[in-house]
Structure 1
Amino acid sequence: MSDFFDQKSVIGNAEWCAFPSLNIPAIKARVDSGAKTSSLHAVNIQSFQRAGQLWVTFEVHPIQDSRKVVVYCEAEVIDQRVIKSSSGDREKRYVIRVPLQLGERTWDVELTLTDRDSMGFRMLLGREAMNGRLLVDPQVSCIFGDRPQETLAKLYETPEIREGGLRIGVLASNPDLYSNRRIIEAGEAMGHEMQFLNVRHCYMKLDATTPEIHYRGGRILNDLDAVIPRIRPSMTFYACTLLRQFESLGIFCLNDSTAIAQSRDKLRSLQLLLEHGLAIPTTGFANSPLDTTDLINMVGGAPLIVKLLEGTQGKGVVLAETKKAAESVINAFKSLNANILVQEFIKEASGKDLRCFVIDGKVVASIQRVAAPGEFRANIHQGGRAELVKVTAEEKRIAIRAAKAMNLKVAGVDLIRSNNGPLLLEVNSSPGLQGIETATNEDIASMMIAAVEKRLLGKLRQPS
């Protein structure tokens, strides 16, 4: 029996581990003998082939509650498994085998790769990795020594966050989306502590004396300085309630809840643009299918555009080239109780539109979007392309006025060139960065962070 215990080391409920082959000198692991497999926090996971074997590259943020430190890793894949998380969700994960260093002992362990950003620990040490080697004392932690912030800064050769650095949350749904990654990277490069906040993982406490916003695992978010919302349409209602809570706590939101909500209501947004003297294509809206013919005539007849009010990124937009086709599409949508807009078709635009990116009342970049062959609408999400374009002073003024009409500090303003001058199509409160940054080579993400700095730090930093 003594040999049984002599061969095992005692560890606490949490310990600092290292993975030399991954260049991770310290990562704090939650020790959980109830979990079969071990897992490591990993994002931006990409697979590739090397010498006929499957490998992955991935990024690790080894420090809890921080994305400031990033370690770029690669490892051979030994398996792919469906893992059931503590919340009951099932996820297919890559499995790697690497040496684990704990105290003076080193042995190979299997790790599943998953995004643990919402969890309390960036690593979970399961019982398969502990079998035959470790005994757990749940009453203590860090038996092999703690790692204070100064030690971690030296191990990862990273400076502390600069004086005046902000705590900024990116409220969105997908941490791997280009736009969200770029904003986080830009903020970290500018010395701020960036946190990705999944909309679904946030919840709030409504209370007269101690209102709070919590994140998955119970972390309280009241100490944030700012929130940059990147809201997908399906999450608009819930995300706006969260933003109103942030606003009530005095946390600055780069786009506020009211501005986002009204920009997502296509009919209301068009009415607001008209109220501010801005031109749009002639548009009709009705509820009764009995008025279909008059609805078509009021926008100039066919061809015309039929839009679902809830559509986005070109989805739910149909070109009806004849009156008969228009009647069929309109009546079909209305039979489904769908809210629709009917809009004149600007033939002379030839499948092109303009996207002006407005930040803090200034057009910082512009592109022309060209429809894919056979398509009538310029949309890079459906095979179109983005290209450089020089917009006129009038088009810039219209874009700025449109963003102001919506009260948006950041907006993607879409215009179309017609025989009667520029017409506004839409004002987007969460415009994508990939197409416009790629086409213009402008650092839009850093400009967004600079807008937050200007508001909270009283200075505007130009991106390098």
Structure 2
Amino acid sequence: MLEKVIVGSEEWCSFPSLGIPTMKARVDSGAKTSALHAVNIVPFEKDGEKWLKFDVNPLQNNGKTIKHCEAKMVDKRIVKSSSGSRESRYVIQTVLDLGGNQWEVEVTLTNRDSMGYRMLLGREAMSGRVLVDPEQHFLLGQPTTEKLKEYYNSSSVEKKGLRIGVLASNPELYSNKRIIEAGELRGHEMHFLNLKYCYMKLDANQPEIHYRGGRVLNDFDAVIPRIRPSMTYYGCALTRHFESLKVFSLNTAAAITQSRDKLFSLQLLLNNGVDIPTTGFANSPLDTNDLIKMVGGSPLIIKLLEGTQGKGVVLAETKKAAESVINAFKSLNANILVQEFIKEANGKDIRCFVIDGKVVAAIQREALPGEFRANIHLGGTASVIKVTAEEKRIAIKAAKAMNLKVAGVDIIRSDKGPLLLEVNSSPGLEGIEGATNKDIASEMIKAIEKQFKWS
């Protein structure tokens, strides 16, 4: 029978196969599953098997000390936390060293910034091997400050290039994962920063940005805002605060804000000589008839100003239908744009991806048969297209007018020539990388490197 290790309610442990020399763990026999703090979790394949890359901050309240780890994935399961919430977590199997005793344990990976300990040792990992004396602490000893410095200030902790944060909401989104992957491959320290977990300290002498659990985020070199429409106000406020701390933002808060204001962005583009489909805007429903006539009559497009791409858009095929829709929106005090319908586009538009004043890729998007398409992209197929010099000029000019270093510029071909539909400040990468096989994510990282003259 194995001689059991006696431990207190907190102990120092290590994970030799992960390269983590020591970290403090909460010993909790009430918890079934063990959990390790991990961020920037990226699945990948190795020898035909599923593996995970992830970063561990082994020291509490220390975001600068990072271990870059890899481990074979054994499962992905739903885990119920102590607060009662359920979370889907990756599971790895690794060697645990507790007081010189080593054995393999299953550990789930999760962000534990808000918890008191970076490691939670649950009863499954202790079963048959450990006895817990909950009144005691560090029965197996604890490292001195000098020893911790020796462990974590050595060359084993690699100092990466720039410290870059991806400011977004969904770590599993293709675009966010690709940007983090591209940054790491180019030698930078990449972090996914969930907008909802960030909060700000406005202070004349010591302004700060904190992350859930109290971690201070002031030491970033750059951030890449990937703000979903529903988070525009808070996301831009947060981006502005990073800018005030002299953190470089790939797209500024001011540029993102004006790109999300449909009416203002169209006025700004027109003032910079960029052609758009004829568009009308009115406050009173009494002007509906002239508004319809102004944009060339029916069929026409009606767009809610507060709508996101592809939502709040109506195709009115007759004058009577247009009047009904416009008056219905006006009765709800909703602001709308009325726009001419470009029939000759035949359900197609062009997406130009502009980075740092250059069109790095372009695709043509075509609606599926029978799909409604109102001068905007709603889905369908994507294919590589050779854009004209004029279309490139419009895309670059539009991004410059909006002051965006990264932009998805949507153009439609009409009898009057190319017309600009929309400028997106957080364009997705999946469709354009898949169709063109170009590494767009790396081009975004290069734009940041250029700012810092990094090589």
2:252 equivalent to 1:253: no
What's the CA shift for 1:25? 6.4
What's the CA shift for 1:369? 1.0
In the alignment, structure 2 segments of 5+ residues that lack a partner are none
Structure 2 match to 1:69: 68
2:33 equivalent to 1:33: no
Structure 2 match to 1:18: 15
Does the Cα contact within 8 Å between 2:72 and 2:92 map onto a contact in 1?
A: no
For residue 314 of structure 2, the aligned residue among 307, 318, 324 is 318
Structure 2 match to 1:385: 381
The worse-fitting range, judged by mean Cα deviation, of 365-374 and 266-275 is 365-374
For residue 239 of structure 1, the aligned residue among 235, 241, 251 is 235
For residue 282 of structure 1, the aligned residue among 278, 281, 288 is 278
Does the Cα contact within 8 Å between 2:53 and 2:71 map onto a contact in 1?
A: yes
SS in structure 1 of the partner of residue 68 of structure 2: coil
Does the Cα contact within 8 Å between 2:13 and 2:25 map onto a contact in 1?
A: no
For residue 159 of structure 2, the aligned residue among 153, 158, 161 is 161
SS in structure 2 of the partner of residue 358 of structure 1: strand
What's the CA shift for 1:416? 0.5
Superposed CA RMSD: 3.4
Identity of aligned residues (%): 63
How do residues 243-392 of structure 1 correspond to structure 2 at under 5 angstroms? 243-377=239-373, 382-392=378-388
Residues 14 and 440 of structure 1: CA distance in aligned 2, closer, same or farther (over 3 Å): farther
TM-score by length of 2: 0.84
Q: Distance in 1 between matches of 2:426 and 2:66?
A: 22
For residue 171 of structure 1, the aligned residue among 167, 170, 185 is 167
How do residues 163-202 of structure 1 correspond to structure 2 at under 5 angstroms? 165-202=161-198
Amino acid corresponding to residue 303 of structure 2 in structure 1: K
Q: Distance in 2 between matches of 1:149 and 1:437?
A: 38
Q: Deviations along 1:261-295, whole A, 9 cap, x unmatched?
A: 00000111001001111110011122333333222
Amino acid corresponding to residue 403 of structure 2 in structure 1: N
What's the CA shift for 1:317? 1.9
Does the Cα contact within 8 Å between 1:372 and 1:382 map onto a contact in 2?
A: no
Q: Distance in 2 between matches of 1:149 and 1:29?
A: 14
Structure 2 match to 1:212: 208
Q: Distance in 1 between matches of 2:113 and 2:433?
A: 27
Residues 216 and 76 of structure 1: CA distance in aligned 2, closer, same or farther (over 3 Å): closer
Amino acid corresponding to residue 71 of structure 1 in structure 2: E
Residues 380 and 280 of structure 1: CA distance in aligned 2, closer, same or farther (over 3 Å): closer
Structure 1 match to 2:54: 60
Amino acid corresponding to residue 142 of structure 2 in structure 1: I
The worse-fitting range, judged by mean Cα deviation, of 118-127 and 407-416 is 118-127
Residues 81 and 305 of structure 1: CA distance in aligned 2, closer, same or farther (over 3 Å): same
Amino acid corresponding to residue 372 of structure 1 in structure 2: L
Q: Deviations along 1:241-275, whole A, 9 cap, x unmatched?
A: 11111111111111111000000001110010011
2:421 equivalent to 1:425: yes
Aligned residue pairs total: 437
TM-score by length of 1: 0.83
Structure 1 match to 2:440: 444
Residues 96 and 214 of structure 1: CA distance in aligned 2, closer, same or farther (over 3 Å): closer
SS in structure 2 of the partner of residue 69 of structure 1: strand
Does the Cα contact within 8 Å between 1:67 and 1:194 map onto a contact in 2?
A: no
